Structure 1
Amino acid sequence: MPDGYEKDPAMTNQYCPLCRRETAQLYFKDRKRDYLHCSHCDLVFVPPAFHFSYAEERAYYDLHENDVGDAGYRRFLSRCAEPLLARLPAASRGLDFGCGPGPALAAMLEARGHSVALYDRHYANHPQVLKEQYDFICATEVLEHLHNPEDELTRLWGCLKPGGVMAIMTKLVISRERFANWHYKNDPTHIIFFSRDTLRWLACHWQAQLEFVADDVIFLTKP
């Protein structure tokens, strides 16, 4: 770590927001933000000093156009939906966590006979749905936005029935060298970044079965 870096306000919280260990060290730094790395669970994360406020996040998300009927968007989501559908019993009940303003994934799953509850901090803030139990939970392009991943993921895991599947879509960190030119980190609302080793740590922590379905599609099955 560079001399004097511990005085940077971005480093006042050096603990990892996922495993809560005080093992964070500087991983990468660009003109806008710092990125820290946890040596225990391998998470890369942006310190809180660089996080957007709720209003700033909402204004940024409102620029996105995720139309339920957009064919390209549905093809993108199908890389998660199709392998999930192959595993679900008929008439399963699920939760689309971080569904956004256009819950296309939920519509795709409901069209195949499943029921899907919606939750999104900005667009479907219905906390009561986080007190129920589900056969599956989808978190597509949402993990990278979590401010408190340990709390939020633990709560989600508690909503999943035994034998249920948590279906995740998120781009994964491969190496420090690739991270330097990685477009995914440039979204200012992306504040945590998982690697395969992070997901292995999470699966071990939860005693879950882990499956890498595709480069950015991951299934965790609850015992």
Structure 2
Amino acid sequence: MSLECPLCKSADIADFEQDRRRRYFRCQECYLVFADPECLLSPEEEKAVYDKHENVVEDEGYRRFLSRLATPLMEKMGEGAKQGLDFGCGPGPALAAMLEEAGHQMAVYDPYFAPNLSVLDATYDFVTCTEAIEHFYMPHREWRQLLSLVKPGGWLAIMTKLVIDAPAFKSWHYKNDPTHVSFFSRETFRFLAERDGLDVDFVGNDVILLRKKNE
């Protein structure tokens, strides 16, 4: 079987794990772990899973979860209102609401729940992507798109659970969601930061703040 990495397009791919649901591979170049492309859901099947999510703007527990990204991001950006985009906002754009309440101007985009393509024609002081990047079937495409949306000197803030190693992956609940297909690690984000000229900062176990360098 001929495979290439869906993130960096390398052909240097190795088997990583096999469970009763799917087979997983790891790129030896950027260290992305990805599910067997033969197991990807159709758009209809994928949306049916998302429709079961109960993320609502007013949910205080969900807001506390999102504050793990929002708080350090706002600290990094400093004073003053900024223009931001929440990419992959889902059915309940709580993060955008929280950032608006903090004084920032927000746009939202989601291919299923907020498919307003016009917001992708602008650039922003910051772009957030929480619990979405692991869903990307073609992360090379979405990664380039995310970078194109960030102004020089701006921030890309990502929240996703990170791969640690093969033994931890074997029993990792995160891979059991059929819509989770692209699994990043610190090594992956370091690779992307070096390749694309970004500064990277890891906050806790699942928040990654990347700054686009000034041109």
TM-score scaled by structure 2? 0.97
Which residue of the other structure, out of 39, 43, 47, is the alignment partner of 1:54? Answer: 43
Give structure 1 regions of 4+ aligned residues with deviation exceeding 3 angstroms. none
Partner of residue 39, structure 1:
28
Which residue of the other structure, out of 2, 25, 36, is the alignment partner of 2:14? Answer: 25
Counterpart mapping for 1:163-174 below 5 A: 163-174=153-164
Which residue of the other structure, out of 89, 114, 121, is the alignment partner of 2:111? Answer: 121
1:140 aligns with 2:130: yes
Counterpart mapping for 1:198-217 below 5 A: 198-217=188-207
- Two-structure CA RMSD over aligned residues (Å): 0.8
Amino acid at match of 1:81: A
Amino acid at match of 2:96: A
Q: Distance in 1 between matches of 2:202 and 2:75?
A: 15
SS in 1 for 2:97: helix
User: How far 1:155 moved relative to its partner?
Assistant: 1.2
Partner of residue 81, structure 1:
70
Q: Distance in 1 between matches of 2:146 and 2:208?
A: 15
Counterpart mapping for 1:86-105 below 5 A: 86-88=75-77, 89-105=79-95
Q: Distance in 1 between matches of 2:14 and 2:45?
A: 27
Partner of residue 3, structure 1:
none
Residues 21-71 of structure 1, C-alpha deviations (whole Å, 9 max, x = no match): 101121000111110000110000012210011000110000010011001
Residues 79-121 of structure 1, C-alpha deviations (whole Å, 9 max, x = no match): 0001111122411000000000100000000001001110001
Structure 2 portions without partners, runs of 5+: none
Q: Distance in 2 between matches of 1:115 and 1:132?
A: 13
Q: Distance in 1 between matches of 2:23 and 2:146?
A: 28
Structure 1 portions without partners, runs of 5+: 1-5, 7-11
Q: What percent identity do the matched residue pairs reach?
A: 51
Partner of residue 55, structure 2:
66
- Which shows bigger deviation, 182-191 or 124-133? 124-133
Q: Is the 8 A contact 1:163 1:222 kept in 2?
A: yes
Counterpart mapping for 1:183-222 below 5 A: 183-222=173-212
SS in 2 for 1:86: helix
